[in-house]
Copies of this chain bind each other. A is one copy, B any other.
Amino acid sequence: MVQIPNTPTSADVARLAGVSRATVSYVLNNTSAVRISEATRRRVREAARELGYVPHAAARSLRAGHSRMVLMPAPAIPVGPLYSGFLSDLQWALGRLDYTVVQYGSVGLQGDEAVRAWAELRPVAVLVPGAGLGPEGVVLLKRSGTRAVVTLGPGRVDGAHALLMDHEAVGRCAGAHLYERGRRRIGVVVPVEPGLDAYALPRLAGVREALRGTGTGVTELPLAYTEEAAAEAAAGWRAAGLDAVFAYNDEYAMLLMRALQDEGLRVPEDVAVIGADDLMLGRLLRPRLSTVHIELPSGRALAELVDRAVRDPGGEPEVHTVLGATVVRRESS
């Protein structure tokens, strides 16, 4: 058995430093409202260090009324390289502004229950990707002291700042491009993996919208991210008679393109293929993969919006469209 040391309290620090508990609290929370000599401050800090005393962020935020914590629900699905890079960026940019990013794993919590769990941590700002927050959630967060709520998703939510990410635009781009390349029977991959519908269905809708009234057929193609599923889709390709495919993203596109090639179909002559995300790996294949380049907001711009919103919690919500989508044509389309 390992002996666990007793948790030191602020009373222990006060005793060792020979001051009151209130003085300990003033010093360790950097309260400037109270005059305390530099010598006393030093004595308190040394006592705290000696005892290994750490103030309780919770207690501190109870007194201060807020924290420097920016809470983000953690994604429930494995994230791709694009989002992972964006998160690192954002974390760094918020860190420079003295905020701490906390990604909260809400697995198993739904709707209001999740929002309540976030609110319990009393974050100063909440940044919600996707579409999981309603206007009641915003009110609940604000009532609990959250100064800024920012959504990163397809639509606006009352009371929250919105960074609009229009995934239909990704599909519109891809659909218009394939049409320009002379394709008239277009498949659109919709991954069967859970959690991706929020991105895949708007992309499909975007393709349909771009091709409305052109007489071009759009076929939804459910696809699992496995070689077997891709081989099966490729085996039925000639029968389906599709001359192009927008494959949801580059990973599905690379998988499907290889299966089509193995089936003896020529890319792009028989089937034009386009992905999305502009991963470097797509450039390594032959033919080089065409893609939709997606521009996420810069971490720095988003961090600055959060900071602005925290400083002016009563301000009018800002709305920005942040997702840029442009076709990068290579050899596969």
- The residues of A with any CB-CB pair to B shorter than 8 Å are 1-8, 52-62, 74-81, 84-85, 87-88, 91-92, 94-96, 100-108, 116-117, 119-122, 139-140, 142-145, 159, 225-227, 251, 254-255, 258, 280-281, 283-285, 313-317
Contacts and interface: CB of A to CB of B under 8 A. Distances in A.
Nearest to A71: B102
A316 B1 contact: yes
A79 B84 contact: yes
A64 to B, nearest CB: 11
Contacts of A77: 88
B143 A52 contact: yes
A196 to B, nearest CB: 13
Contacts of A144: 7, 54
B57 A120 contact: yes
Contacts of A102: 102-105
Contact of A107 (B7, B74, B92): B92
A212 B70 CA distance: 50
A120 B61 CA distance: 11
Given A122-B58, A317-B2, A78 B88 contact: yes
Contacts of A78: 81, 84-85, 87-88
A60 B91 contact: no
Contacts of A6: 143
Given A58-B58, A258-B284, A285-B285, 16 more contacts: A1-B314, A2-B315, A2-B317, A3-B314, A4-B314, A53-B143, A56-B62, A57-B58, A74-B103, A76-B92, A78-B84, A78-B87, A94-B105, A100-B104, A103-B103, A225-B280
A251 B251 CA distance: 13
Nearest to A53: B143
A110 to B, nearest CB: 12
A119 B139 CA distance: 30
Contact of A76 (B88, B104, B121, B251): B88
A60 B119 CA distance: 13
A60 to B, nearest CB: 7
A281 to B, nearest CB: 6
Contact of A57 (B108, B122, B316): B122
Given A81-B78, A84-B78, A227-B280, A56 B54 contact: no
A143 B254 CA distance: 51
14 contacts: A5-B142, A7-B143, A7-B145, A52-B140, A54-B119, A54-B143, A55-B120, A56-B62, A59-B62, A60-B120, A62-B62, A91-B105, A102-B105, A255-B281
Nearest to A120: B57
Contact of A95 (B94, B100, B105, B116): B105
A316 B2 contact: yes
A57 B122 CA distance: 8
A74 to B, nearest CB: 6
Contacts of A55: 120
Contacts of A225: 280
